[in-house]
A and B are shown apart, each in its own frame.
Chain A
Amino acid sequence: MTSLRTWEVEVHWREACGADPRAVELQGQLADLLDGCDGGIKVSSLFYLRGEGLDQDQVALAAEHLLSDSVTQECELRDLGDGERLPDPQADGDVGHVATVRKKTGVMEPVEESLLKGLDDLGLSGLSVRLALRVRFQIPLAEEQLDLVGEKVLSNPAIEDVFWDETEVPSPFIAAAPYEFSLGEVELSGIDDEGLVQLSIDGQLSLNLDEMRTIRDHFETQGRPATDIELETIAQTWSEHCCHKTLTARIEHEGPDGEKFTYENLLKDTIARATRELMEQEETPFCLSVFKDNAGVVAFDDEYGISFKVETHNHPSAIEPYGGAGTGIGGVLRDTLGTGLGAKPIVNTDVFCFGPPDLPMDELPAGALHPLRVLRGVVSGVRDYGNRMGIPTASGALYFDERYIGNPLVYCGSIGLIPRGMVEKVVHPGDRVVALGGRTGRDGIHGATFSSVELTEESETVSSGAVQIGNAITEKKFLDVLIKARDLGLYRSVTDCGAGGFSSAVGEMGEETGARVDLEKIPLKYEGLSYWEIWISEAQERMVFAVAPEKYAEFEALAESEGVECTDIGEFTGNGKLELFYEGNQVCDLGVDFLFNGRPPAHFSSVFRKPEVEAAEPHVGLSAAALLREILAAPNVASKEWVIRQYDHEVQGRSIIKPLQGPAADGPGDGVVFTPRYDSLRGIAIGCGMNPRYGDIDPYRMAVSAVDEAVRNIVACGGNPSKTAILDNFCWGNTARPETLGSLVEASRGCYDAAMALGTPFVSGKDSLNNEFRTASGTLSIPPSLLISSLSMVEDVSCSVTMDLKESGNLLVLVGETRAEMGGSHYAKFAGGGGDVPCLPPEASQIHQAMHGAIQQRLVRSCHDLSEGGLAVAAAEMAFSGGLGAKIQLDKLPVSAEGGGLDDLQGLFSESNCRYLVEVSQENKEALLALFDGLPAAVVGETCEDGVLEVTGKDGAGEILSESIEELRTIWKEPLIFDAV
């Protein structure tokens, strides 16, 4: 007779190999938390293996080949018998505290799958495995410190448990109770308004009263109660996250001067309108697919298109930064894979907004994670997911503001390459509904609705079901299958399981045909899920395909050959109904027409009042040098190298202009350039623009400035402004407040005007509203945060330029006009004062075109766009990145006719749009300036050998700044390094 036997294998570092890197890292974090600590800690990995008659030799084999590295690690094997009780980790003589950290039951642990695979290769099949971490403290900890250390250093309470007492550690193998079917029904008939609102809250449906009434009336007409799964499906389909009800609502808006605007559909009347009007002017098709698929697609060459999508994953990242950010990048990659018949991801982008990383612990609101912890977690989440997928993460930005404490923003973007003939997809009635990829668990229940409400100090505990943990390798595996199946023509349509899970994916795909799904066929990670949990789970790494019945066998065989699970779960029927069954019982019967067109139209009114503009005059008298030093060290300007280098930005071998530039590879590039095809010198340039500080004063101008900056980014490195697409991502506070919605309307107006002025169509976008954090003492709302991402064509990548100065004796040309627009600037941040936010000058488009022409003609040695910190910061960055000095004369600056009053500091630090600082050789000077005939451009200085940045003021002011570039480089490079050791 055999019996189940459980073993514990503890793997720790061999002391002969020096310091254990894991222990060093944890110790650093402990020292941060406890203000220093004496003595050491020991960290070990625990593996629990359980199987029928599992013996010591088998476990030893696994330990040697899979669980440890014999060169640097040692193992201890412990027989736990039936596994009901665990051994006492302190029994071996350790005196200090011992903590055991384990994922909560039901939380995904990616390593388990690989371990089972490796055990199978060793001939050990049918085992159960679990992992844990053990930390032994040789440093004394007071009892009252244990919880703090557990929560802040050892674990994330949203997904992990920490046990300090061995008698409390439950057996690692607890079988989930099997699910027994019972249909959940809700009688809606006759429920009054108050009851409807309560029902929405209790069920976490996030539906408003109007919507609840419509649903009640619908089921009254049907003469039956609603089922729970029907309500869940409607709530998900109608969620802000999935249908953008605010941006598509009818809005009555009152502008800053009391003027009235009415938008029938804000999105269609502003952002999408610009695209429509620009497409009408296209001579050759550029926009191939806009605002209808998972990503926008533009033409790359005769054979290929390029897709681009940027998503946000803010609320999950607030609660579990590592998992939230990782699944953010995982999700946007699935958007790329689910665009048309599937685009192949070739570049990722990332933009993050955090609270100040040096926030004192006692100023941290209850329930919020510390900004530095969020930052570290988010960066490692994107790093581990993107790197494992083998997709370069190469373009992005970081912004810091107190108002992102509690509600950080995580924007993840993905660019893909798709054959032009595969941009469209159509589901045919009779096609099979096929699920591919990972299994379904209880992760991420209510993510779509959770992302549509504000966070509170309770969110960490009540919403932990919404936390998703990703497994990049599962996604990489189906990426490989998807591209192969696409090229073999094995399916007719595809979309990703994102927010809303199968509910959203099958619903969207079946919008024209209807669909029938047998929910019990969906493979589960573990037992115990109810039918509605299966339907709305947001477990990661799943895609849904429409496969013609005659192709299914081939599709399945391909998936199997790559080790990817593939399941036929139903049919796209053609009867216009969404019908769901569980073990033969019908649990949902909804008309797709009601589901997709039944939502009552939303109406809002909004207003924008211009805040009191501060007087332009600064309050503080700072010298040019002091200001430059402050701004270079400001977190929004300082070097992002610590983050950038943790991303593999060169995998796939397509990177031509990299994010870090110059001979020391530390200069901050404006945009990056990639070659999507190995057999062509044609490329793409990628950039972005964002400035939440402007939005506090003038959201309209913030939007035009963001669009202009995004365009400058790509032009500065070689992109063609006439073949540029842009994306909008709105992250806002609670737009139920008319003035918050008002600032969003103003920004949308700015988006339209800027897109038209610059000829850059929006091809995709996304909004995330309700980015607020509610605490006992009030609500913290984020500033209006509009990210504009840009994607541009580069005809010949060998013409591309970088921003590092190249040679002494060259001339520096400033392109574009400098105005006294200091509102929201970094100058105003440090010196006070302000005034207007930068406008978009009427000659903007011509300037970008001329700049592009100069780069195309190879006249430009280096080029940098002027943004935060203006001319001073751009010149400093170009100088230290190139290891050269520069001399600038402010009396040569092109200024507007009314700009005569510009003082030297305004000239140096103004953030006026549409400007570039350009390095040109003496011999190419005339040719370059000729391209800017009639446009503002002038020689303002030269490059020199001496390693000093020197600025001469106007009107005989003489030298107003003279700084060593090495010192400036150091000031700029040091602030954002967050190594634990």
Chain B
Amino acid sequence: MAKVLVLRTAGVNCDEETAHAFRLAGGEVSVRHVGSLLRGEDALENFDILAIPGGFSYGDDLGAGTVLANQLRTRLADDLHAFVDGGKLVIGICNGFQVLVRLGILPGWEGDKAASLIENVSGKFEDRWVHLRVETDQCAFLDCSGGYSEPCARYLRAPVAHREGRFVLRDPDMVDRLRENGQIALTYRVSAGEEDQEPGAAEGAYPANPNGSVLDIAGICNEQGNVLGLMPHPERFVHRLQAPSWTRNPPDASESTLGSLSRAGDGFSIFSGAIGFVNDRADKIR
């Protein structure tokens, strides 16, 4: 069974729903304080998937994710790099994405820090649902071909809730490198689209692109595809009734059971894809 570590520390606050999403997907989940890793009570190497959930680690004082990234970099760098280089999976959601970018694990390039997640163009924290398109075919969490489990949908909905989600690059030319490497994982779109009709790109326009990210980037992965960072919260949409306007198409009485509703959110496939990937690899090794 795939072992998932959901990392928490002061101010992390999406650990519970992230753990729930991985459990629904069949993972064996441990929610652990970063202190237990630092004290050696738990070891990163015992896990297959590391999830850094959303929240405000250490209050986001000094910038989103800064203090946690600094802590991981100074105290756990070797374990973390061994985990990533060994092809194990890492997902950073919202604040977790900010931490991975601060650490340089995303985009994962040598040299000076290339990317940052800065204050939204709107200047404020906002909670709103966005439409997403999966742009990459090399990320273990976003497997639209269904190589390991149920395929991930190409188009997804999820809520964003952040103030610092504008993805920027130090050098505008770096966009090409991201694109060529297949590292653009998710982009914001204007709608869910109609049948046989692609939804348009957000093209930077608010509110479809809620923060002003370059190229409408909502999430990126590393070159190997085993690390994903994204601003939207897929863990908040694993259940059909978590959708924003489900009452327009409500389940009838016969569909209204926990079993049939609870894995029917768009975000679920990101978690089940990761678990499927790990199980598939374990089968192959065996």
Contacts and interface: CB of A to CB of B under 8 A. Distances in A.
Interface of A: 17, 21, 24-25, 65-67, 69-72, 110-111, 113-115, 117-118, 121-123, 383, 387-391, 471-473, 476-477, 480, 561-563, 644-653, 655-658, 660-663, 665, 675, 678-681, 796-802, 804, 806, 858, 862, 979-981
Given A653-B20, A979-B123, A563 B10 contact: yes
A647 B162 CA distance: 10
A388, A679, A798, A800: which has the most chain B beta carbons within 10 Å?
A798
Given A118-B70, A562-B35, A563-B35, A665 B126 contact: no
A562 B33 contact: yes
Given A646-B127, A798-B261, A862-B247, 12 more contacts: A24-B123, A67-B62, A69-B66, A111-B59, A115-B61, A118-B66, A391-B13, A476-B11, A480-B8, A650-B159, A650-B233, A652-B13
Nearest to B267: A653
A473 B74 contact: no
A71 to B, nearest CB: 4
Interface in B236-255: 236, 238-239, 241-242, 244-245, 247-248, 250-253, 255
Nearest to B262: A678
Contacts of A981: 123
B16 interface: yes
B33, B116, B238, B245: which has the most chain A beta carbons within 10 Å?
B245
A392 to B, nearest CB: 9
A67, A118, A562: which has the most chain B beta carbons within 10 Å?
A118
B154 interface: no
B71 A71 contact: no
B54 to A, nearest CB: 8
Given A66-B70, A110-B61, A646-B125, A653 B168 contact: no
B233 A121 contact: no
B245 A114 contact: no
Given A121-B71, A387-B56, A645-B128, A71 B241 contact: no
B88 interface: no
B74 A121 contact: yes
A980 B123 contact: yes
Contacts of B33: 561-562
Contacts of A472: 11, 56, 59
B112 A70 contact: yes
A69 B59 contact: no
A833 B177 CA distance: 69
B145 interface: no
Nearest to A677: B258
B116 A69 contact: yes
Contact of A561 (B35, B159, B236): B35
Interface in B134-171: 159, 161, 168-170
A123 B11 CA distance: 22
Contacts of A110: 59, 61
B62 A115 contact: yes
A979 to B, nearest CB: 7
24 contacts: A65-B66, A65-B70, A65-B73, A69-B66, A69-B102, A72-B116, A72-B118, A111-B62, A118-B70, A387-B161, A390-B55, A390-B56, A473-B59, A476-B13, A561-B33, A563-B35, A646-B127, A650-B242, A652-B16, A665-B244, A675-B241, A678-B262, A806-B247, A862-B247
A651 B13 contact: yes
A806 B248 contact: yes
Interface of B: 8, 10-14, 16-17, 20, 33, 35-36, 54-56, 58-63, 66-67, 70-71, 73-75, 102, 112-116, 118-119, 121-129, 159, 161, 168-170, 233, 235-236, 238-239, 241-242, 244-245, 247-248, 250-253, 255-258, 261-262
A476 B70 CA distance: 20
In the A-B complex, list the 10 residue pairs whose CB atoms are closest, starting with the nearest: A390-B13, A114-B61, A653-B17, A798-B256, A71-B116, A473-B59, A111-B61, A648-B161, A802-B247, A388-B56
A70 B113 contact: yes
A801 B244 CA distance: 12
B35, B63, B70, B242: which has the most chain A beta carbons within 10 Å?
B70
A389 B59 CA distance: 9
A661 B73 CA distance: 43
B244 A471 contact: no
Nearest to B170: A71
Contacts of B253: 858
A387, A645, A650, A658: which has the most chain B beta carbons within 10 Å?
A650
A651 B62 contact: no
A58 to B, nearest CB: 14
Given A473-B56, A646-B124, A681-B261, A797 B241 contact: yes
Nearest to A857: B253
Given A66-B70, A118-B67, A679 B127 contact: no
B56 A118 contact: no
A653 B17 CA distance: 6
A117 to B, nearest CB: 6
A798 B250 contact: yes
